[in-house]
Amino acid sequence: MSNLLRYGLVVMCLGLSFSAHSAGFDCSKATQKVEKMICSDIQLSTLDSNLYNAYSSAKIATGNSKVFKENGRVAINWRNQNCTTPKCIKEWYQTREDELLRIAATGFVPPSDCVVSDSHVSVKGRISRKVFPGPPNYTDISEGDKPLAYWILKTEKPLCAYSSEMLPNYLKRISPQNEFQLVISDYEKYRNKLGKLVTVNGVPYPSHTGYHQTRLLITVTNIK
């Protein structure tokens, strides 16, 4: 085999490899910092390409409705405004793919102003530190239950909410919620936010243990 032919095969293989790991959008037109991070990272580019299959299925299931388009716009804006690390972007893709597969399975897209389990949300309110009765009975501290302190986000008014507490791929509309227990990896980082009006960005999930004090909790990405 000639050196020229050998070189051509190498270039072709590299091209195929790059194509297989390319993002699902035109990287030459990337303007957002997050988009540039995706284009420069093979793993993130692959996740972006893989997301297209779930998106296509959801698009068909919803008939590409206005509410579905709005859902996509809100999701992308959330990523671009809140993710500053590859870890955050990777977690966004994982959550977003699950959300799109749920939409594809049911054809249902919840309103964008609702707090929805296992979706990315931005919720405005005030954070307070509250003490609740813990084990063994989770009923009364004066009766011997261990006091447990949690951070609770309270909104000005109850918000429309959907929970996946019954089945992972099924959303149930629940009563409007105005309190959300926060799950934070570094409480000290945000201690100065206590008592202030803030926006909490993160992913809600339904209560399922005695340590959960609100119907929906939010795993916090950041607090602004």
Query: Domains in the chain, please, with CATH?
Result: 3-106 (no CATH), 115-223 (2.40.50)
Condensed to tens digits (0 to 9), the pLDDT of residues 82-109 reads 999 999 999 999 999 999 999 999 999 9
Nearest to 213 by CA among 164, 166, 177, 187: 177
Can you say whether the dihedral through the CA atoms of 123, 125, 130, 132 is positive or negative? Answer: negative
Residue predicted with more confidence, 32 or 213: 213
Contacts of 203 (CB under 8 A, 6+ apart): 95, 118, 119, 120, 121, 218, 219, 221
Please give the DSSP secondary-structure letter assigned to residue 145. Answer: P
CB 38 within 8 A of CB 83: no
Condensed to tens digits (0 to 9), the pLDDT of residues 183-217 reads 999 999 999 999 999 999 999 999 999 899 999 99
* pTM of the predicted model as reported, rounded to 2 decimal places: 0.84
Pairing of strands 170-183, 115-116: unpaired
For 61, how many CA atoms within 13 A lie in the half-sphere containing its CB? 17
Pairing of strands 121-133, 197-206: antiparallel
Question: In whole numbers, what is the pLDDT of the chain averaged over residues?
Answer: 88
